[in-house]
Structures are given as structure tokens and as C-alpha cells.
Chains A and B, each alone.
Chain A
Amino acid sequence: MKLGRDLLLFGLVLLLGTLPFFGEAYTLRLGTFACMYAIMAVSWNVIGGLAGYPSFATAAFFGLGAYAGGVLLAKGAALLLALAFAGALAFGGAMLLGAVLLRLRGHYFAIASLAVGEVLRELTNTATNLTGGGMGLNIPLGAMTGGILGEATFHFLAMWGLLLLALAVVVWIERSKLGFGLACIRQNESAADMIGVNATLYKSLAFAFSGVFVAMAGTLYAAWVHYIEPPDVYDILFAVKPIVMALLGGLGSTVGAVLGAFVFLGIEEVVWRNYLQVHTGVLGFLVVVLLLFLPHGLVSIGRRLRTGRAPA
């Protein structure tokens, strides 16, 4: 059952990789966003779903990655180097910060993680020499061949590759001792501590893994859009959307997170295209309806149909 699901997941994502063969630039743009959202949702699921810590730090990691990588790219570094640097910075930073922040629980952790993004945003805003501050940061066009379509294909494939990497790592975490430890922590942290789970280390690792791929996605995003500014990449919606996606799919399930990300993007795009003026309102309405009527997400629909009632 579990194995079948994971295979289905990889099959689905691999299939998405064929998009450049028949897609035009718009479809590729959507595909890139789909992969980016899926990376965010799957990553958030490690700390929020597996460990049960409601993190609002996704926007912080994304912005950090976008700026760390973006500054390097602007100075002429290679994309791979920028990616590695952003990933390492996010991982290391999250390990250090996690050891401190993850002593907090519930609302307190939620707020502290939210504050990380706000502080980073302000720091980015004021470090004008390095980041361009409120003027934003221009990232030069790389030596890309193939015109618009070629560039779109490149960025799609890069984001898609990162999604595959993130999925591989997260599925490995789920099956490893780390994943088991995190499940113990979610159910009862004191008891987990008692039987010898190194809770601080495990939680910090979960926090770091929830950040590393998001930061790298941030770098790819910066390279893709060529211009970033603090309100754009530290957008608080980047912290909330992954949670909505994970809830939409079904909390704690990696398959659900990917599914949730894709469905969410679909809804967002339709609303955004047709009802621009009210799109945040519609997003809010969706969140409310989802929480009140489908609290266990899309993956619970099948179960519900089989048993004829809502799961407990």
C-alpha cells in the first residue's frame, strides 16, 4: 500500500517531466510553478506533517535562498554553485535556529518561525549595499540559447529536477529512523525523549530539511524571474500556501502534499485569471470551506467513499 503510493507519486512526477515535449511557454511556466509549490509543500510536510510543528518559516527559507543565490548569481557565479551555497546556508542556519526555536511549542513556535521571515526581510531591506534593499536585485540573464521557449524549458527542468531530489530525500526520511523518530515526537514528545529519541537533534534536522530545498527553489526562482525584491520573495503567503496545500492533500502525507500543491495551483490559476480583483478573497473562502468540510484533505475522500462516513 505504502510502496504503491510512493511509486504512483514518482510516476506522476516523472510524467510531468515530459511537459517540454508538447508544452508552450505558458504551460511550462505553470509547470515550473507546480514543481515549486510541490517542493514547498513536501518540504513543509517534514516539519509540519511528520514532526507536528506548525512552521511558518517557509517564506523565510525561500527569501533567504532567493537572495543568497541571487547575490552570487549577480556577482557572476555559476547556478550550481549558487544553489549549493543557498542550500548549505539554509541547512546550517536552520540547524542552529532550530535548536533554539524548536524548544517552543504550538502557537509560540508558529509565531517565532513567522518572525524569522520578518526579521530576514527587514535585514535584506536595510542591507542595501549587498542586496539592493527596497530597489530589488537584478539577476543577469545567463548565456541561454533557444530563446524564450529554450529558457522556459531550462528553468522548468531545473525546478522539476529539484522536486525529484526533494521527493527522494523526503521519502527516504519517512522510511528512515529519522522519520520514525519524528512520528514519535509528533505523538508524544516527552515519551519519545524518554525512550531515547534525541528530540532536539531530530527536530532540528526536520527543520533543516524543511528549509534546504525551499531555499534552493528560491535560488532557481531568482534565476528564473531575473528580478527579486524583499516583499516578493519574503511574501507571507509563501509561508501559508504550503500549509494550505498540505491540508488540501491531507496532513502528514507526502503524496497528499504533491497532490495538494498541484490542485492548489490549478485553483489559484483559474481564480487569478478570471477574478483578479477578488482572488485573495476566493483563496480565503477556499481555505475556510476546506477546513470546515474536508479537514482530512483530498486523500481522505477515497476512504470516505469506501466507508460511507467521515474518518474519525
Chain B
Amino acid sequence: MFILQILANGIVLGCLYACIAAGFSLVWGVLNVINLMHGSFIVLGSYLAWGAYNSLGLSPWLTLAIAAPLFYAFGYLVQRGLLNRVIAAPVLVTLTLTFGLDLILNNAMILAFKADYRRLILEPALGTLAMGPVVVPVDRIVAMGFALVLTGALYLILRKSRVGRAIIAVRLDRDAATLMGVRVKPTYAAAFGLGAAMAGCAGVLLALIFPISPLSAIPYLGKAFVVCVLGGLGSVPGAVVGGLLLGLVESFGAMAFGPEHAVTLSFALLILFLIFRPQGLLGKRGFE
């Protein structure tokens, strides 16, 4: 029965990881940029939820509607103004540039919010839901539901909308897409904006579950990395599969080896995947 509880925890965690990683994977897959700001975007989203709840009394579910356009605009501008200038440069340059931007963003957050941990506590608390022997807090279930909805929405945007098709076209073949009349730079900016919006919304959801601090940015970023490599790059289903896998591995690994080894385990898994299946579980070769 213990197993069922761990399974449930792993699935809840996994859906949230999928949401964290979907935007990161999109940016990496389409722009070939590893956005090291992703973790800070998530934390910023958490602060937004915290501030909106504590000063305006706005529930986190409503904050999602604000966070998405806000972060989209922010990401769009960062890509248009800064990253597009070096988009053709080698990997090292774009990676280091986002690292520099992340240092600025993280430092600004430490100045603005201090480094102490905060927690968003809903009043009244939503309680827990017991299904037989398995007990899950309701706020986690709702957060998981929203994470799935958001990830699904991203999938639909990429599948059905005009800008989504343009993003996919640029990902598959940039030159051919340019010849077909897709304007590449605004498309890049839109992809980055979508990635940022996903990160911000994931942050809003995570505010309900984990303590909020600028120091959490790096661990979140680490999760996004691992999920992308496990699931396969640049695809939303890949992020979901990778997220679930990581969530389950972490939950069961924590039980088997002790919680202090969870990080080692996930990074060991990362290295194994990089060596033996670098395209990920759902990825196709040639997209690396």
C-alpha cells in the first residue's frame, strides 16, 4: 500500500516537472538555446503568485491568467532585444549570455525579495483527498490538473495555431521556412515568449507546493534539463513522458536509497541517457 502512495506522489510530481520542462524544451529544441534563466522565471512566477495572493487576495488559479501574458511579453522582449543578436553564434556564446542574464535576474530577485524562504498558504486550506490508502493534498491535485491543462494548451498552440506551425516549421528546417515566408526572428521571439510563459505559470503552481526562494532557481533548472534529456528534445509529449519518468524515479529512488540521493540518482540517469539514448525516449534522431 506504501507503494501506491509513492506512485501517487511520483505522478503528481511528474506532471509538475512536465510543466516546468515543456517551455525549456521548446526553447532548446527550436532556438538551439539553453535558457539558463528558466529557473529564475519559475521562481519569479512563484513570487507573482505569492504577491498577488497576499496583497490583492487573488487566488493562484486567477494569477495564472495574468502570469501567462506577462511572462510571454517579457520573454518576447528578451529574445528580440538581446538573444536574437547572437542567435547564430556558437553554443558557448548563447549559453553564457543567458547565464549572464540569469545572474542579473537572480540578483535583482534577492535584492527585491531577500533570500529567505516564503510559503503561499491558502486560507482556508483545501484539505486532503483520501482514496483508499492513498492520501493526496487537494492543492497538489489541482496544481497537477492545471499543469496538465497548461502543457496540453502548449501542445495545441504548437499544433493548431499559425504561430505554432511557424515555430514547428522553423524547428524542422529554418532555411526552408524562411523561403516559405516565415519571418524567423519574430518566430524565435514567440517561441522564447511561450517558453517564458510556461515557466512563469509553472512557478505560480509550484508556489502552492514548495517554499519560494531565489535559491530554488538552480534546482528547478536542473529538473528541466533532466526531463528534456529523458523525454527527448523540443516535443511536448516528450516533456510529459520525461517529467513522469523523473517524478517516479525520484519518488521510488528516495524510498530505495534515501532522499539525500535523489539528486545523484537523477543526474546519473541523465548521464546514462546522454550516453545510450541521447535523443530521449520519444525523440527522433537528427534533432540533436
Interface residues of A (CB under 8 A from B): 48, 54, 100-101, 103-108, 110-112, 115-116, 118-119, 122-123, 125-126, 236, 240, 243-244, 247, 251, 277-281, 283-288, 291-292, 295
| Cβ contact within 8 Å between A115 and B271 | yes
6 contacts between A and B (CB under 8 A): A107-B95, A122-B261, A251-B92, A277-B111, A278-B111, A291-B97
Contacts of B250 in A (CB 8 A): none
Closest Cβ of chain B to A32, distance in Å, is 25
| Cβ contact within 8 Å between B222 and A284 | no
Across the interface, name the chain A residue whose C-beta is closest to B106: A280
List 11 additional contacts besides A54-B90, A110-B91, A247-B92; criterion CB under 8 Å.
A100-B275, A107-B34, A108-B288, A111-B274, A118-B222, A126-B264, A243-B92, A278-B107, A284-B99, A291-B93, A292-B85
Across the interface, name the chain A residue whose C-beta is closest to B219: A118
| Cβ contact within 8 Å between B96 and A284 | no
Contacts of A48 in B (CB 8 A): 92
List the 5 closest pairs (A to B, CB-CB), nearest first: A284-B103, A287-B100, A281-B107, A284-B104, A122-B264
Chain B, 104-151, CB within 8 A of any chain A CB: 104-108, 111
Across the interface, name the chain A residue whose C-beta is closest to B222: A118
How far is B86's CA from A286's CA once the two chains are assembled, in angstroms? Answer: 16
Cβ of B192 within 8 Å of any chain A Cβ, yes or no, is no
Chain B, 20-68, CB within 8 A of any chain A CB: 28, 32, 34
Closest Cβ of chain B to A199, distance in Å, is 17
Return the contact of B103 from the options A100, A115, A287, A292 (Cβ within 8 A). A287
Cβ of B198 within 8 Å of any chain A Cβ, yes or no, is no
Contacts of B268 in A (CB 8 A): 119
How far is B274's CA from A278's CA once the two chains are assembled, in angstroms? Answer: 36
Closest Cβ of chain A to B278, distance in Å, is 6
How far is B29's CA from A107's CA once the two chains are assembled, in angstroms? Answer: 11
Return the contact of B229 from the options A111, A122, A123, A295 (Cβ within 8 A). A111
Contacts of A54 in B (CB 8 A): 90-92, 95
Closest Cβ of chain A to B9, distance in Å, is 21
A295 touching B278 in the complex, CB below 8 Å, given contacts A111-B229, A288-B101: no
Number of interface residues of B (CB under 8 A): 41
Across the interface, name the chain A residue whose C-beta is closest to B274: A112
Cβ of B18 within 8 Å of any chain A Cβ, yes or no, is no
Contacts of B179 in A (CB 8 A): none
How far is B218's CA from A292's CA once the two chains are assembled, in angstroms? Answer: 25
Closest Cβ of chain A to B1, distance in Å, is 29
Contacts of A122 in B (CB 8 A): 260-261, 263-264, 267
Closest Cβ of chain A to B37, distance in Å, is 10
Return the contact of A115 from the options B101, B111, B270 (Cβ within 8 A). B270
| Cβ contact within 8 Å between A284 and B102 | yes
Cβ of B89 within 8 Å of any chain A Cβ, yes or no, is yes
How far is B278's CA from A52's CA once the two chains are assembled, in angstroms? Answer: 20
Closest Cβ of chain A to B185, distance in Å, is 16
A106 touching B267 in the complex, CB below 8 Å, given contacts A278-B111, A284-B100, A286-B100: no
| Cβ contact within 8 Å between B225 and A111 | yes
Contacts of A107 in B (CB 8 A): 28, 32, 34, 91, 95
How far is B121's CA from A263's CA once the two chains are assembled, in angstroms? Answer: 47
How far is B229's CA from A108's CA once the two chains are assembled, in angstroms? Answer: 9
How far is B97's CA from A291's CA once the two chains are assembled, in angstroms? Answer: 7
Contacts of B32 in A (CB 8 A): 107
Q: Among A101, A106, A110, A277, which residue has the most Cβ atoms of chain B within 10 A?
A: A106
| Cβ contact within 8 Å between A126 and B261 | yes
| Cβ contact within 8 Å between B275 and A103 | yes
| Cβ contact within 8 Å between A243 and B261 | no
A112 touching B271 in the complex, CB below 8 Å, given contacts A104-B278, A291-B96: yes
- Residue-wise interface mask of B (222-238) relative to A, using a CB-CB cutoff of 8 A (1 in contact, 0 not): 10010001000000000
Chain B, 248-275, CB within 8 A of any chain A CB: 260-261, 263-264, 267-268, 270-271, 274-275
Cβ of B176 within 8 Å of any chain A Cβ, yes or no, is no
Contacts of B263 in A (CB 8 A): 118, 122
Contacts of B91 in A (CB 8 A): 54, 106-107, 110
| Cβ contact within 8 Å between A108 and B278 | yes
How far is B97's CA from A107's CA once the two chains are assembled, in angstroms? Answer: 14
| Cβ contact within 8 Å between B92 and A240 | no
| Cβ contact within 8 Å between A292 and B96 | no
| Cβ contact within 8 Å between B271 and A291 | no
| Cβ contact within 8 Å between A281 and B104 | yes
| Cβ contact within 8 Å between B96 and A287 | yes
Across the interface, name the chain B residue whose C-beta is closest to A49: B92
Cβ of B172 within 8 Å of any chain A Cβ, yes or no, is no
Closest Cβ of chain B to A298, distance in Å, is 16
How far is B219's CA from A236's CA once the two chains are assembled, in angstroms? Answer: 12
| Cβ contact within 8 Å between A118 and B267 | yes
A119 touching B99 in the complex, CB below 8 Å, given contacts A103-B275, A111-B225, A291-B93: no
A236 touching B218 in the complex, CB below 8 Å, given contacts A125-B260, A284-B100, A291-B96: yes
Contacts of A280 in B (CB 8 A): 103, 106-107
